[in-house]
Amino acid sequence: MKNSTFKNLRDFPSSQLRRNYLEDNLKIKLSHIAQFSFDEAKLIGKNIENLIGATQIPLGIAGPINIQGQKYFIPLATTEGALVASINRGMKAINLSVGVDVNMELVGISRGPVFKTSGIKHSQKVKAWIKSHFLELNELATQTSLHIKLLKVDFESFGKNLFVRFSYDTKDAMGMNMVTIATLEIVKEIEQKCQVSCVSLAGNFDIDKKPAWLNFINGRGRKVWAEVVIKKEVVKQVLKTTPEKIAEIVYRKCLLGSIASGSLGFNAHFANIIAAIFIATGQDLAQVVEGSLGVTTAEELENGDLYFSIYLPSLEIGTVGGGTKLPSQNEALKILGVEGEGKADEFAKIIAATTLAGELSLIASLAEGTLASAHQKYGRGKL
Amino acid sequence: MKNSTFKNLRDFPSSQLRRNYLEDNLKIKLSHIAQFSFDEAKLIGKNIENLIGATQIPLGIAGPINIQGQKYFIPLATTEGALVASINRGMKAINLSVGVDVNMELVGISRGPVFKTSGIKHSQKVKAWIKSHFLELNELATQTSLHIKLLKVDFESFGKNLFVRFSYDTKDAMGMNMVTIATLEIVKEIEQKCQVSCVSLAGNFDIDKKPAWLNFINGRGRKVWAEVVIKKEVVKQVLKTTPEKIAEIVYRKCLLGSIASGSLGFNAHFANIIAAIFIATGQDLAQVVEGSLGVTTAEELENGDLYFSIYLPSLEIGTVGGGTKLPSQNEALKILGVEGEGKADEFAKIIAATTLAGELSLIASLAEGTLASAHQKYGRGKL
Amino acid sequence: MKNSTFKNLRDFPSSQLRRNYLEDNLKIKLSHIAQFSFDEAKLIGKNIENLIGATQIPLGIAGPINIQGQKYFIPLATTEGALVASINRGMKAINLSVGVDVNMELVGISRGPVFKTSGIKHSQKVKAWIKSHFLELNELATQTSLHIKLLKVDFESFGKNLFVRFSYDTKDAMGMNMVTIATLEIVKEIEQKCQVSCVSLAGNFDIDKKPAWLNFINGRGRKVWAEVVIKKEVVKQVLKTTPEKIAEIVYRKCLLGSIASGSLGFNAHFANIIAAIFIATGQDLAQVVEGSLGVTTAEELENGDLYFSIYLPSLEIGTVGGGTKLPSQNEALKILGVEGEGKADEFAKIIAATTLAGELSLIASLAEGTLASAHQKYGRGKL
Amino acid sequence: MKNSTFKNLRDFPSSQLRRNYLEDNLKIKLSHIAQFSFDEAKLIGKNIENLIGATQIPLGIAGPINIQGQKYFIPLATTEGALVASINRGMKAINLSVGVDVNMELVGISRGPVFKTSGIKHSQKVKAWIKSHFLELNELATQTSLHIKLLKVDFESFGKNLFVRFSYDTKDAMGMNMVTIATLEIVKEIEQKCQVSCVSLAGNFDIDKKPAWLNFINGRGRKVWAEVVIKKEVVKQVLKTTPEKIAEIVYRKCLLGSIASGSLGFNAHFANIIAAIFIATGQDLAQVVEGSLGVTTAEELENGDLYFSIYLPSLEIGTVGGGTKLPSQNEALKILGVEGEGKADEFAKIIAATTLAGELSLIASLAEGTLASAHQKYGRGKL
């Protein structure tokens, strides 16, 4: 595609005309990208620009899974064979035991500006001012949205740099947009009152869409846990292995192997499951990065059964806003029964439980005696 | 959804019947999920199980972007407003300068089994055996696929654990499936010859789909770099800021802010761009985790122009296999001109260049004097 | 030394008899180890067992250094040539400017037990109980020592593991002993009231004597900062380089180089200076590990002068207890004027200021045009 | 100490006159610091400047310890009560079993300069040049010392920065001085031949005296391992606990607790033991930072005995040069039987074995049922 004079794609009035232009210029056909059912006009400027169509991700269904007595079907969007089947197998083992227990703790979504101060004394002054004006700053935040509340403020500083991490409750929205706008108002106030300049409203002390120990240790969004006890007979019949072998793999792979690699992920494949749910339900896919941080543990109990648990310290999700209103994504949330307000906590727990199911099943297939056959049965490369 | 007797969703013969079942039971409509243009029969067992339809991700187009004299349109799938427009703005600034320079280095995709040995002496013996049988092991690998070659073997060991990282050239495939099968054969040989047991074919020394210093430091898949010099006038006119301010934000946010957060990502939002390309082109979305590791640097040159660069140490991508054959994804690869064999190197470079464009534009919008208006112009929360 | 029958060295009544035994058996002379001036009887069971004598570390003196108007001589114990001279040169540059500014924040020393719970629900219950009994637990702590106060409690949990980090104010003692005893009482109470078992009183959530992001991000002991503005003429005359070059080395070495290495130390050689002061003053030398974490930043100011700063997030020190009562160490504290009670805050600031001086001087010598001559002048290997 | 006019301490001709000056000015007595047996004149300019005397660190003796059939007494310098006794107890348990097995691998000591290039293409060119001139560069290195050999070269680059890690065999010297001088010659050649400027001869890609994943993953100095099998009866009688409890503490504390803390140290207290040996034998104390990185593992064997191992990936030590010639330090090396040339490998193994003994004993005391009494027996705070 050389030496052509391209028009500005922004100026085309519709996705069809953009596709036509690309098809003509590139001598290709975009007949599948042209297939979509959402209303083009509603998305523009909200979810996308320069629209040419849609990417279709195959959507499978797993479940039901028994989560604390409640049953859920789980929509999973993926292009990798065996993932849905594998998660489903994990759910079967869970359901034949007592179901998954889950727990959740709201940490809040954060925005972390960086201020340039004159040095360490100035940084301390600004820090002290912010601490003593927490209520007023929260007031400013709440004026930008009815759904926001400032939960806490953390600091880091060195040299001429002051980093401030504002963490908010944003109800059922993932909330990055809300907290950006709220933090902007707060930052303006700080700049004025403390004679300090904000270099960047987002100063990577948030820290958003990057793997970081800050989020692992102090959490972001929601911390969620899931655990299950699987009877040894179920481990044998459904998972084709033993609690002892599963515990050993978690120990040698998820703990020691991740230590050997300098990782922040002490698990087998959280990211596969998190990504599949995030795509299906209109979450921010870049947040798979921190959403998939966490730890898997497994222990053989004294009675020979298997204790299996997962922990996600930094799960940022929403049931309103962002991509959740897109038609196919919204339907997926309805399958889960968590569409709309008042549902984010439940959604977080479902994600944790599903992650556990997927983690359990993969580790079991790694534990099976003949890896080759496991491989053929559960797809190529599903490790 | 309580107390129902669920059928096994695997047993339904089509996505439509599964949808019907869910619709009936959950009292919902899945009319958008039902919209897809791929051939259901071709996907089953390869890309998905328990299919119920598709998730439609809005697909936008950015570009063209001038990469070393070649021009490319970039398909980007996302649900977040402003992302495509922002990347597009970055490309405009790049094109008004001299275009992007890119560089690439093949590291290879790895599989890292963990063996249980009797202790440190045994580990050393197995390690020595593997080192001295590199050619034979490569021979075993090549028998599993014509497209695979063993590049190198790395080791870590402690206690009764020996971790071995086999890195392969897998040509234009991302290759996790291929290297899993190849490594299985290698592992069988090692188990037999060294009297040692492999606990897990994937021992997290790969390390796949988890953020890890091992991949940052030693690389995985491909290492790619992109850089550009933007004239100060272009920075002013297109990006509405100055080289000095951009350099300062990169310094205080991407370097110092990420240090303050204990991060492995020294950038503004690589993950947004990587995720949008990965979705559009059928890549493995869980690999956004390590694909978005890396460093942004910016410096004001002596003549006042801006030097801007990005580095992705662990980009795992393919132009064949996996999700690349899905119809809409395949069309996106054709838009890029990198569909099929012999194209993965070029594709990696395009991703690096696009990441640079998106990174540049976001940092510029953070640098603009009035953050509020930047905010309104470029969407809510696009930081 | 084969096939000898060794007596139990514990049973020898004096260091001299132990030396004699070793000398006879090993056919060596220990005449220098025999040289010490402390009272053997006073140390036994408190600072050492199986005493055979002393290791003599050469002690140099640097300074005076002007810290916020106050002048201090700094005793430094080291075996590496050029270190004292280099630190001294940094002090000279500092004194010719306006002296060092310092700042300090008490975080508290921590003990972090790990409890084995029945799972995530149990962990949450124990956590809730601890939170609601903070005052009672502090009461238990204060009964073990008049000098201790519980400042805060942090938690982490996954699987059957609950980690609790108790942080205490221990006045002028480094305090690990005090907080261990206090935490023991607290743990006993928790075990009894919450029906939970403590697996290890020290559960690495403290985290003591290991490098860790938890201490970097949340701090431990004391956070200390030091900064200075050095006139460009002084940089030229005393440090033989320019502010620009110093800023560039800090940028490319201390920031980018440490990023490239996956480090928690974003500095040139904090550990050299921290170790030299710790040895001289009887601190716990294993705590050099976290005491030397931190960040150096440098910027050329608009007027051409140099802004230079250092930050130590996890400095654990004391002016009473531990090795501070040993005669030569106690004299060193007296040289500093910080021996005994009420002095730990001042001592922490002095360490920060000295670290800055040493850091500045080394980076300056790296910046000097001809590295070879710098090398010869300031010793071999003092980089 | 205000408003005094201080003379330049460098100008005093002896440590005694410096002491007199400090004593007069500060109104203190330095009678203990005055006690030392080394020859002042021999140290100046080599190990110390501005000498005022010596710091005396109490020196204890542990052992003998059976290492692969050889027995060693271990000198340990510390100011913390219980450390020597605790290590000694670990040795007793080891000796009653079969002794420690050790293993060692030379990685080499590294110097890692940072070059400023014009960008990524230039960096690649320089990198290629260095790779293709390895032999010539080694030749340059060997001309600076008969005891040095270039082993390998590693690279990292982004933006205008090229980091090169030269790793050398320095025989029995720790070698930082030697490799600095050798690298200086290599760097001069590169600067001339590649038209590139070295910003800092030490670019933190070495990486020296800072905790870093690069050293953990790829090693530095020597990698050493130690392991032991302790009979369950010995665990019971000597260590007062069970293999099961020890394995559980290692699992919950050293692995999970360190994961919870974002640590690079997966052990209980390597740093205590490393520091005590380093002080006693004249090693570089700042290198305790990376010397104490590493992993402890423990497993209960099928027959009920305990398997216990430690791994030190980055142990930088020497038996010649540096502080090893100081009289008391040299005597300590003679106690170990590793003074002088040809002894560094053996010394590294002894350190690993001693670290294992200390690690085992502390974990055992944490495992003992009644922590309070263990506490009183083994000192206050020795956790």
Chain D CA closest to residue C155: D260
The secondary structure element, H or E, covering residue A321 is none
Chain A CB contacts of B114 under 8 Å are 252-253, 256-257
| Separation between Cα atoms, residue A256 and residue B158, nearest integer Å | 9
CATH number of B302's domain: 3.90.770.10
| Separation between Cα atoms, residue A306 and residue C182, nearest integer Å | 36
Question: In B, residues 281-310, which contact C (CB 8 Å cutoff)?
Answer: 295, 297
Torsional sign, CA A251, A257, A262, A266: negative
If we measure between CA atoms, which residue out of D145, D205, D192 comes closest to residue D172? D145
- Residue where the block lists tokens 């938690």: C155
With a cut of 80, say whether residue B2 has pLDDT above it.
no
Q: Is C41 helix (H, G, I), strand (E, B) or coil?
A: helix
C136 shares its domain with C152: yes
Which site among C8, C28, C61 would you substitute to test the D interface, given the most D Cβ atoms closer than 10 Å to its Cβ? Answer: C61
How close, in Å, is residue A157 to chain C by CA atoms? Answer: 8
pLDDT tens by residue, B66-83? 999 999 999 999 999 999
Taking each continuous run of H as one helix and of E as one strand, the counts in chain B are: 15, 11
D331 touches chain C (CB under 8 A): yes
B88 shares its domain with B192: no
The mean pLDDT value for B177-189 works out to 96
If we measure between CA atoms, which residue out of B337, B99, B371, B314 comes closest to residue B226? B99
The mean pLDDT value for A36-60 works out to 94
Closest Cβ opposite residue B249 in set A47, A52, A199: A199
Domain that holds residue C149: 113-200
The mean pLDDT value for C107-129 works out to 98
Which site among B68, B161, B206, B217 would you substitute to test the D interface, given the most D Cβ atoms closer than 10 Å to its Cβ? Answer: B217
The mean pLDDT value for B227-237 works out to 97
Torsional sign, CA C44, C46, C51, C55: negative
With a cut of 50, say whether residue B371 has pLDDT above it.
no
How close, in Å, is residue A302 to chain B by CA atoms? Answer: 22
Residue pair B327/B44 in contact by the 8 Å Cβ criterion:
no
Which sequence positions of C are flagged as catalytic?
A: 80, 284, 375
Cβ-defined contact of A251 to D251 (cutoff 8 Å): yes
Q: Say what the pLDDT of residue D44 is.
A: 84
The mean pLDDT value for D256-272 works out to 98
Instruction: Examine residue D9 and state whether it is found in any structural domain, yes or no.
Output: no
Q: Say what the pLDDT of residue A93 is.
A: 97
If we measure between CA atoms, which residue out of C298, B356, B216 comes closest to residue D119? B356
| Number of domains forming the structure of chain C | 3
The mean pLDDT value for B235-255 works out to 97
Q: Say what the pLDDT of residue D310 is.
A: 98
Give CA torsion, residues D216, D220, D222, D223, to 10 deg. Answer: 20
| Separation between Cα atoms, residue C321 and residue C330, nearest integer Å | 10
| Separation between Cα atoms, residue D349 and residue D224, nearest integer Å | 7
The mean pLDDT value for A230-234 works out to 97
If we measure between CA atoms, which residue out of B336, B327, B363 comes closest to residue B40? B327
pLDDT tens by residue, C169-210? 999 999 999 999 999 999 999 999 999 999 999 999 999 999
Closest Cβ opposite residue B262 in set C216, C251, C260: C216
Q: Say what the pLDDT of residue A6 is.
A: 53
Catalytic hit among B23, B80, B185, B368: B80
Instruction: Examine residue A7 and state whether it is found in any structural domain, yes or no.
Output: no
ipTM of the complex: 0.95
If we measure between CA atoms, which residue out of B339, C304, B58, D142 comes closest to residue A47? B58
D207 touches chain C (CB under 8 A): yes
* Contacting residues for C316 by C-beta, under 8 A, at least 6 apart: C109, C174, C176, C220, C221, C222, C283, C284, C287, C290, C291
C152 shares its domain with C239: no
Instruction: Examine residue B174 and state whether it is found in any structural domain, yes or no.
Output: yes
If we measure between CA atoms, which residue out of B136, D252, A267, D377 comes closest to residue C197? D252
| Separation between Cα atoms, residue B245 and residue A112, nearest integer Å | 18
C182 shares its domain with C194: yes
Cβ-defined contact of D295 to A213 (cutoff 8 Å): no
Cβ-defined contact of B288 to A293 (cutoff 8 Å): no
**Percentage of chain C modeled with pLDDT above 70:** 94
Instruction: Examine residue A83 and state whether it is found in any structural domain, yes or no.
Output: yes
Chain D CA closest to residue A260: D217
Residue pair D157/D167 in contact by the 8 Å Cβ criterion:
no
Chain C CA closest to residue A298: C159
The mean pLDDT of chain A is 94
B135 shares its domain with B91: no
B159 touches chain D (CB under 8 A): yes
How close, in Å, is residue C260 to chain B by CA atoms? Answer: 7
C127 shares its domain with C271: no
Closest Cβ opposite residue A158 in set C119, C121, C225: C225
| Separation between Cα atoms, residue C279 and residue C276, nearest integer Å | 5
With a cut of 90, say whether residue C4 has pLDDT above it.
no
Q: Say what the pLDDT of residue A369 is.
A: 53
Closest Cβ opposite residue A121 in set C103, C119, C160: C103
The residue from B180, B200, B220 where one domain ends is: B200
Q: What is the 3-state secondary structure (H, E, C) of D10-65?
A: HHCCCHHHHHHHHHHHHCCCCCCCCCCCCCHHHHECCCECCEEEEEEEEEEEEEEE
Which of the other chains make 3 or more beta carbon contacts under 8 angstroms with chain C? A, B, D
**Percentage of chain D modeled with pLDDT above 90:** 91
If we measure between CA atoms, which residue out of A158, A174, A163, A254 comes closest to residue A207? A163
Confidence at C368, pLDDT banded by 50, 70, 90: confident
B132 shares its domain with B51: no
| Separation between Cα atoms, residue D191 and residue C196, nearest integer Å | 64
The mean pLDDT value for D280-298 works out to 98
Closest Cβ opposite residue A79 in set B201, B282, B335: B282
Instruction: Examine residue B147 and state whether it is found in any structural domain, yes or no.
Output: yes
C378 touches chain D (CB under 8 A): no
With a cut of 80, say whether residue D375 has pLDDT above it.
no
Chain B CB contacts of C255 under 8 Å are 255-256, 259
Q: Say what the pLDDT of residue C98 is.
A: 87
* Contacting residues for D24 by C-beta, under 8 A, at least 6 apart: none
Of the ranges A38-42, B120-124, D90-94, which one carries the lowest mean pLDDT score? A38-42
Which site among B110, B120, B230 would you substitute to test the D interface, given the most D Cβ atoms closer than 10 Å to its Cβ? Answer: B120
With a cut of 80, say whether residue A381 has pLDDT above it.
no
Confidence at D369, pLDDT banded by 50, 70, 90: low
How close, in Å, is residue A348 to chain C by CA atoms? Answer: 16
Instruction: Examine residue D155 and state whether it is found in any structural domain, yes or no.
Output: yes
> For this structure, is B122 an active site residue?
no
Q: Say what the pLDDT of residue D9 is.
A: 85
A39 shares its domain with A76: no
Cβ-defined contact of B262 to C217 (cutoff 8 Å): yes
Cβ-defined contact of D159 to B217 (cutoff 8 Å): no
pLDDT tens by residue, B251-310? 999 999 999 999 999 999 999 999 999 999 999 999 999 999 999 999 999 999 999 999
CATH number of A134's domain: 3.30.70.420
Q: Say what the pLDDT of residue B369 is.
A: 52
Cβ-defined contact of D262 to A216 (cutoff 8 Å): yes
With a cut of 80, say whether residue D4 has pLDDT above it.
no
The mean pLDDT value for C87-102 works out to 96
The residue from C167, C200, C233 where one domain ends is: C200
The mean pLDDT value for A205-223 works out to 98
Confidence at B378, pLDDT banded by 50, 70, 90: very low
With a cut of 50, say whether residue A383 has pLDDT above it.
no
pLDDT tens by residue, D164-176? 999 999 999 999 9
Q: Provide Rg for chain C, Cα atoms.
A: 24
Amino acid A50 reads: N
| Separation between Cα atoms, residue C292 and residue C355, nearest integer Å | 9
pLDDT tens by residue, C295-353? 999 999 999 999 999 999 999 999 999 999 999 999 999 999 999 999 999 999 999 99
D225 touches chain A (CB under 8 A): no
Query: Could you tell me the pTM of the whole model?
Result: 0.96
Instruction: Examine residue A4 and state whether it is found in any structural domain, yes or no.
Output: no
B179 shares its domain with B327: no
Q: How many residues does chain B have?
A: 383
Q: Say what the pLDDT of residue B45 is.
A: 78
C52 shares its domain with C64: no
**Neighbouring-strand partners of residue A306:** A230, A300
Q: Say what the pLDDT of residue B383 is.
A: 37
The mean pLDDT of chain D is 94
D334 shares its domain with D358: yes
Chain C CB contacts of D63 under 8 Å are 6, 9
pLDDT tens by residue, B293-320? 999 999 999 999 999 999 999 999 999 9
Cβ-defined contact of D9 to C63 (cutoff 8 Å): yes
Chain A CB contacts of B80 under 8 Å are 47, 284, 322-323
With a cut of 80, say whether residue B6 has pLDDT above it.
no
Residue pair B23/B15 in contact by the 8 Å Cβ criterion:
no
pLDDT tens by residue, D124-170? 999 999 999 999 999 999 999 989 999 999 999 999 999 999 999 99
Instruction: Examine residue B205 and state whether it is found in any structural domain, yes or no.
Output: no
If we measure between CA atoms, which residue out of D256, D244, C118, C199 comes closest to residue A254? D256
D170 touches chain C (CB under 8 A): no
Which of the other chains make 3 or more beta carbon contacts under 8 angstroms with chain B? A, C, D
Cβ-defined contact of D181 to C256 (cutoff 8 Å): no
Cβ-defined contact of A379 to B45 (cutoff 8 Å): yes
pLDDT tens by residue, A279-310? 999 999 999 999 999 999 999 999 999 999 99
* Residues B232-237: contacts with CB under 8 Å, at least 24 apart: B232/B303, B232/B304, B232/B305, B232/B306, B234/B93, B234/B96, B234/B97, B235/B93, B235/B305, B235/B306, B235/B364
With a cut of 60, say whether residue B188 has pLDDT above it.
yes
Q: Say what the pLDDT of residue B284 is.
A: 97
Chain C CB contacts of A160 under 8 Å are 297, 299, 307, 309
* A361-371 per-residue burial string, b: 16 or more CB within 10 A, e: under 16: bbbbbbbbeeb
pLDDT tens by residue, A144-176? 999 999 999 999 999 999 999 999 999 999 999
A41 shares its domain with A126: no
Q: Say what the pLDDT of residue C373 is.
A: 45
Chain B CB contacts of C213 under 8 Å are 262
The residue from D150, D180, D200 where one domain ends is: D200
Confidence at B379, pLDDT banded by 50, 70, 90: very low
